[in-house]
């Protein structure tokens, strides 16, 4: 199983817009991508502009499929068009426990 954890800092004044779009994206992923086991969206308790996305996919092919879906492409277009993200730090890994 593949994990993708992304720390996202929303651009100033854009946190609510980012939250609306990312929860829509997460719901689409869960509904339409059987290769995605889980997609969690968290918001920092200390800084309401900071979010953590934790995504888990069956394998690299499922993650690559995710990146080609119309809903992911739309999400990326919205992020760019509205300047929603100030900073993001992705970490991709292979789940070692539990397996």
pTM of full prediction above 0.75: yes
Tokens standing for residue 80: 């760019």
Does residue 98 lie in a domain region? no
Mean pLDDT of all residues in the chain?
97
Query: Number of helices and strands (H, E) in the chain?
Result: 3, 4
Helix (H) / strand (E) element for 34: namely none
- Domains in the chain: how many in total? 1
Model pLDDT for residues 35-60, shown as the tens digit of each residue: 999 999 999 999 999 999 999 999 99
- The answer to whether 9 and 87 are in contact (CB under 8 A) is yes
Does residue 97 lie in a domain region? no
Model pLDDT for residues 10-28, shown as the tens digit of each residue: 999 999 999 999 999 999 9
Per-residue pLDDT at 78 exceeds 90: yes
Domain CATH for 39: 3.30.70.100
What is the reported pLDDT for 99?
A: 84
- Structural domain including 88 reads 2-92
């Amino acid at each position: 199983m593949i994990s993708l954890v992304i720390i996202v800092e929303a651009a100033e004044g854009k946190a609510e817009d980012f939250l609306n779009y990312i929860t829509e994206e997460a719901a689409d992923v869960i509904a339409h991508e059987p290769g995605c086991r889980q997609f969690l969206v968290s918001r920092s308790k200390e800084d309401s502009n900071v979010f953590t996305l934790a995504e888990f996919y069956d394998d690299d092919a499922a993650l690559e499929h995710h990146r080609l879906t119309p809903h992911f492409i739309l999400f990326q277009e919205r992020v760019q068009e509205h300047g929603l993200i100030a900073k993001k730090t992705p970490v991709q890994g292979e789940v070692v426990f539990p397996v």
